[in-house]
Amino acid sequence: MKMMMRLIPVFFIGLMLWGCGKGGDITSSGKESTTTGWAYNDPENGGFEVKSAVEQETGPGLTLIEGGTFTMGKTQDDILYEWNNMPRRVTVSSFYMDVTEIRNVDYREYMNWLSRVFGMNNPQVVRAALPDTLVWRDPMAYNEPYVEYYYRHPSFNEYPVVGVNWLQAQDYCLWRTDRVNELILVDMGHIELSTDQQDERNFNTEAYIYGLYTPNIINPQPSLNPNQESRLINMEDGILMPKYRLPTEAEWEYAALGLVGNTVDELLWERKTFPWNGHNVRNDDPRDMGKMRANFVRGKGDLMGMAGSLNDGGSITVPVRSFWPNDYGLYCMAGNVNEWVQDVYRPMSSQDVSDFRPFRGNQFDKLATDANGTPQIDSLGRLRREPISEADAQNRFNYRKSDYRNYRDGDVESVHEDGEKTTLAYDGSASMYVNNETEKLSLLNDQVRVFKGGSWKDRAYWLSPGERRYLIETESRDDLGFRCAMTRVGTPTGF
């Protein structure tokens, strides 16, 4: 009994420390400021509203990818001698990622919305978003049926959309953000569902927050400010979702490896070559022994195996929930279709970027405002943005300009234009690659983006998450799709 009495204080101290370690409520008691003593959420002293700390909700289609450190880069022999994506240890913070690739039915939902909102007065917006179904054509193959049916026929609803370039994928992510947030406000009874939105007068998350688009509000959000009765919902309420976006290359690679299933107390007991354990592409589980783990090319002229014993079940792509998910619950992170990521391609990117949340492709901007400082919307209903100027960044130490796509791009001996060496300084102020309409384009320039994952028409070599290839952001292919990601705010673990 005496021993139990001695242990009780220790237990409570440990419980308090555990609570502190988990973050707890950022507002302490949640009733008053710990620095001024003024009460929160009190209309009598100005009505400063503070919401208690809440965990971020998981958006539709997403799953949480708990971040951490990992060795990014190649796990296979460099058989092409490219010295590309050499191994380097980095840290990725927690984020969300789509469980599957974006499907044909998902993209047709997007096109339906665009047609309804912009089709009458701005049909060019709809045309610009259409996937290029002609990517299926092959001069020496009969692929015309895929041109006509793959994107539209319901039999292919669950198959990954292809023929979408990087810019189109970016626009899809922005659209998805707005539709998810609009439905959140509809479901909570704040705004009325509107299907008659036209042109720039459509629900956009940022335009709503800034009051530039006001939907029909049926249940106003009460305001504690004594000078106003109601207000719009803002990001401080913790209701609206962060933006959907393409994952960075580091995020994609980290999620594909799924090392969360191979660690015990920070000890990694097996580094993966593929999203699954082992160096084989066939399943070694007794229940599924010998079955292919991904949709890829087994050998020359063998894309699906023999009739009666198809090795991967797909002559081209397969439904997005095929095969077995990795340890994060993600499907087809190897094979089926390659996937766009955010990054601008450079062979030595893994050596140039930061240790934390590595990424190449930053273009810093700011809201475009009128003379009164009011943000403006464009023809799509989005807030206008413009690159920051040197004057905007003149007093900053962490960045000095807007465009960092070619930052640390190489040394002076690497810079060639028109076949002659130049004297451009290695200070990040000049592009290493020729990139304008009057001169020849290099294969590598600031419009070239990374894609990863391997596909239905690739050999097993490309299924490794550390492998990478590139394509100009305005081009598309029949073996290239995408999935979305979202930033995780708050605790990295989700609890």
Instruction: Write the CB contacts of 431 (distance below 8 Å, at least 6 apart in sequence).
Output: 406, 409, 445, 446
Q: Rounded CA gap, 435 and 90, in Å?
A: 31
| pLDDT recorded at residue 3 | 42
| pLDDT recorded at residue 433 | 53
Q: Which residue has tokens 């004057």? A: 391
HSE of 185 in the Cβ direction (CA atoms, 13 Å)? 30
| pLDDT recorded at residue 286 | 84
Instruction: Write the CB contacts of 40 (distance below 8 Å, at least 6 apart in sequence).
Output: 27, 30, 31, 32, 33, 48, 49, 50
Q: Rounded CA gap, 294 and 273, in Å?
A: 14
Of 261, 282, 248, which is closest to residue 330 (Cα–Cα)?
261
Q: What's the distance, Cα to Cα, between the start and end of the chain in Å?
A: 35
| CA dihedral (112, 118, 123, 129) positive or negative | negative
Of 141, 137, 119, 139, which is closest to residue 128 (Cα–Cα)?
119
Residue 451 in contact with residue 262, Cβ under 8 Å?
A: no
Crossing angle of helices 166-187 and 104-118, rounded to 10°? 80
Distance from the Cα of residue 367 to its chain's centroid: 22
Residue 340 in contact with residue 172, Cβ under 8 Å?
A: no
> What DSSP letter does each residue of 380-442 carry, written as one string?
TSPBPEEEPPTTTTTT-SS-SSSB-TTTT---GGG-EETTEE----SSSSS-SS--STTSPPP
The H or E element that residue 65 is part of is strand 62-65
Q: Rounded CA gap, 105 and 148, in Å?
A: 15
Q: Averaged in consecutive runs of 10 residues, what is the pLDDT profile of the chain (495 residues)?
A: 44 41 43 91 90 89 96 80 82 98 98 98 97 98 97 98 98 98 97 95 97 93 91 94 97 95 79 86 86 92 88 92 96 98 85 89 95 93 94 90 85 45 42 48 82 96 94 97 97 83
- Would the pTM of this model clear 0.85, i.e. be above it? yes
| pLDDT recorded at residue 30 | 66
Q: Rounded CA gap, 344 and 265, in Å?
A: 35
- SS3 state at 491: coil
Helices (H) and strands (E) in the chain, counts: 8, 20
Of 375, 370, 239, 260, which is closest to residue 325 (Cα–Cα)?
260
